[in-house]
A and B are shown apart, each in its own frame.
Chain A
Amino acid sequence: MDKSENYLEEIENISDAYEDVLLAMTDDEIEQEVLSEEGNPHQVAENVLEFMNSSIKRLRKNRLSKARQLYEDKSKKQTTEFSLNLTRKQKEDLLLNIIANNPQVGNALTIQHREFHNMSEQDLDDLLADLDALNLLKKSDDKP
């Protein structure tokens, strides 16, 4: 064993001894010790939570970013599928069919959205993608 390993082993011994001390102390003793060192137990605890929370915030941000990417990829894929497979006339017929079979959808659409011929091709695709996300396309799949 070289000097470096010896030293690191000694550090482990001291750390382990301290871990035992910390775990054996009561919560009250822990807080009293901070006070006796002219510290503020509440502030120390808050600081630690803040250090830990910064990692949690990063985790949540990553999750949100992944979910957003997944949603965007899915929407893009659906839009692309409609764009590739259907003519504009077929898309308009499909929408009319959905509204006929689902009156609540017709009520929910704005007047602007009910006049499909005024909508851009992209808006039409996006609307179909949204209706697909609501599982409303499946009932009408074989009709257009």
Chain B
Amino acid sequence: MKASEDDIVSAVENMSAADRIRVEKYARLRVNLLAKFAKGRTHEDLIQESMTRIFAGDRSWKKDNVDFLRFFIWVMKSVSNHWTKEKDAKVEILSWEENPVTIQPKRNNPVGAHHTADQLAKVEIADSIEALYEKLVDDDEAILVFDELRIGKKGPEIQSSLGLSAKEYDTIRKRLFRKLRK
């Protein structure tokens, strides 16, 4: 059953302190991972925009199927994913950083504008990846686990390929996420 506005308000008010911390940690990590794609937004922006989207009816919570925490994490993921599709904003920001004369899209040349946006997206990606690796500098173990997670490998597979015990993997993984959140 789709939750009402009152259900959502009640779920927020009754959320445990630990779940609120989970929300904060996830939001911080997500914004840091998106790096330049977040376009200066913070974890606070992500939480507030997610709430706004829920109340606007853009994201529905089927409360019988999933608890509010999982639902809210999904909304944060969805909202921040939407940021990466804001091509106009992307061009605007990068055109300011690069060269406003040559990069500004022209209204009469949509193909040229699209091409420019793609080129700029590559710059954003390179910068974003670099920003993430900078957070892990001098921590080779964390970089190795990060590289495995990036390609979608799961815990047991990573432990096996890197020859780590469950405890070692857990320690490195916690350290990795802590650094990525900062």
Contacts and interface: CB of A to CB of B under 8 A. Distances in A.
Interface stretch (A52-60, A70-78, A98-106, A112-120): A52-60
Q: Is the interface of A mostly helix, strand, loop or mixed?
A: helix
Contacts of B21: 30-31, 34, 41, 44-45, 48
Contact of A45 (B5, B20, B51, B121): B20
A55 B122 contact: no
Contacts of B25: 18, 22, 30
B70 interface: yes
Interface stretch (B10-18, B91-99, B100-108): B10-18
Nearest to B18: A27
A54 B12 CA distance: 12
Most A-side CB within 10 Å, residue of B15, B47, B129, B180: B47
A14 B146 contact: yes
Interface size, A (range): 35 or more
Given A22-B25, A22-B26, A54-B48, A14 B121 contact: no
A138 interface: no
Contact of A15 (B18, B29, B146): B29
A42 B26 contact: no
B142 interface: no
A11 interface: yes
A10 B18 contact: no
B105 to A, nearest CB: 17
12 contacts: A8-B84, A13-B152, A14-B146, A15-B26, A15-B77, A19-B73, A23-B22, A33-B174, A44-B21, A45-B17, A51-B51, A52-B51
